[in-house]
Structure 1
Amino acid sequence: MIHGRIRGAGIARAVMQGPRPVVLSGPSGAGKSTLLKKLLKDYENIFGFSVSHTTRQPRPGEVNGKDYHFVTREEMQKEIDAGEFIEHAEFSGNMYGTSKGAVQAVQAQNQICVLDIDIQGVKNIKKTDLNPIYISVQPPSIDILYIRQCLVLVELEEEEANSTTWPEPSREISFPAVPGKINK
């Protein structure tokens, strides 16, 4: 039931005033972004994207407020401490997260908010009353995932690529297979 209302207290009342959100999760390179782009293109009036916050610098061509909300570490930490984030994580020395406001902005348009979240973010969201629909996006194989991640690294600037550490793919792939980890 995609259009169900959220029940409960806390975050549910503070954030959820529209259609039930969808969380796409899986390892980097599994195809979450491809699926998300297809949903937004083919069903633009039904689905909306939650723009995440990050403390990293914008890459060439990225637009603040469209690709990410680019903020300082201090700004983001202040909002996290104030309880304004549904989930947040640190990756490769930068903070990433989803604010309540980003979800509310999509729901205000009566659209289903789609969140592109890593496994750490899923664990954080499961501690809230958000109650989204979880979809685990997995690559066809570990070999394909490795190739995709290598291709992404080649595209990154050399400096950033040297500091990037990828999560252990086999661990992220096996995470959804554990009963109750994604949908409980």
Structure 2
Amino acid sequence: MEENVNFDNEVLAYLTVRKDQLIDSHKHYIQSHPEIREVLNDFLSSNDVFVFAKEYYHPFNPTPLKYKPLIVVGPSGVGKGTLIKEIINKYGGLFESKISYTTRAKKSFEKSEGSYHFITKEDFMRRVERNEFVEWCNVHGNLYGTTFAELDRIKQKGKIPIIEVDVQGAIKINERAIEGNFLFIYPPAFEELRKRLGTRTETEEEFKLRIQNAIKEIEMANNSVLFTNRLVNDELEQAIDQFYTLVEALYFQELKNLKEQQQNQ
């Protein structure tokens, strides 16, 4: 019995010494690698550790998965719609724009079934309660949203969904843990953005609100590691070429498969 007690004491003493050695070794390692402490602090200070980790490790996984949605992000007036039309004109066999739901009023030149499904605010909120939206947000008092069903509709056709959203929408998509290729488009300068927005038929108050929102969106994008793909829409032809280059790199295998299918037809 006494031998067992002595043995237990020896083991306990050894474990205590070993524990102190490991603590000391750990302390020295952390001191010699301060970046570890910084990363740990970033993780602990985040409101959503999962989202932070997903964004933090995003650059370490550059190989795109097949058929991930192309998420085109940028402030109002930056030319997202124009660039998307160009890529669909060139690669319509692979890409398709999603149709959003919105509560805003339909403009006179818009078709009933075009880029939007026009619904009431009550209908929209019912869909929110049923968790139908991948992302939704309030833009200048109007609600906009993308449904899971819409993305599934496009994927079932063997195509890649293109999602045109602002930074709010992109962040919400990321929070849903949906894998996508995020591409942020910058205006060349705020003065140019003012000119582009100035051609729209809206009140001075609406115009100022768009400019303020654009500034906020660019600041948010600059502070996020989510947008690893970026371009400046300065000269349109140059921006289109850069957009083609980015998309062709992100979807190299899918475009290769599409080309082979077309050749075999």
With normalisation by structure 2, the TM-score equals: 0.58
Identity within the alignment, %: 25
Partner of residue 111 from structure 1, selected from 141, 145, 159: 159
In the alignment, residue 143 of structure 1 is paired with which amino acid?
Answer: E
Find 1:144's aligned residue among 174, 184, 192: 192
- The match for 2:71 among 8, 23, 43 is 23
Alignment counterpart, residue 84 of structure 1, candidates 109, 129, 132: 132
1:17-56 equivalence runs, <5 A: 19-56=67-104
CA contact (8 A) 2:182 2:226 kept: no
Alpha-carbon distance, 1:168 to partner: 2.9
- Select which of 209, 212, 215 maps to 1:170: 215
Stretches (4+) displaced over 6 A: none
Q: Distance in 2 between matches of 1:69 and 1:119?
A: 21
Q: Secondary structure at the match of 1:110?
A: coil
Deviation, 1:21, is 0.2
CA distance in 1, matches of 2:123, 2:224: 37
Deviation, 1:177, is: 1.9
User: What residue ranges of structure 1 are gaps of 5+ in the alignment?
Assistant: 6-18
Deviation at 1:175, TM superposition (A): 2.3
Partner of 2:48: none
Aligned partner of 2:142 among 54, 70, 94: 94
Superposed CA offset, 1:19-63 (max 9, x none) = 210100011011111111111111111110100000111101212
Q: Distance in 1 between matches of 2:116 and 2:130?
A: 20
Cα shift readout 1:42-100 (whole Å, capped 9, x = no counterpart): 11111101000001111012123322001111111111111100011112221111111
Match of 2:60 in 1: none
Pick the structure with greater CA Rg.
Answer: 2
- Higher relative helix content: 2
Give, in whole Å, the separation in 2 of the partners of 1:85 and 1:54: 12
- Counterpart code for 2:163: L
- Assess if the C-alpha contact under 8 Å between 1:175 and 1:181 holds in 2: no
Asked whether the equivalents of residues 122 and 182 of structure 1 are also in contact (C-alpha less than 8 Å), the reply is no
Pick the aligned partner of 1:61 from 102, 105, 109: 109
Whichever residue aligns with residue 178 of structure 1, its letter is N
- Following the alignment from structure 2 to structure 1, what is the Cα–Cα distance between the partners of residues 221 and 139? 20
Note if contact 2:98-2:115 (Cα within 8 Å) is conserved in structure 1: no
Tell me how large the CA RMSD over aligned residues is.
Answer: 1.7
**1:171 Cα offset (Å):** 2.3
Task: Count residues with an aligned counterpart.
Answer: 163
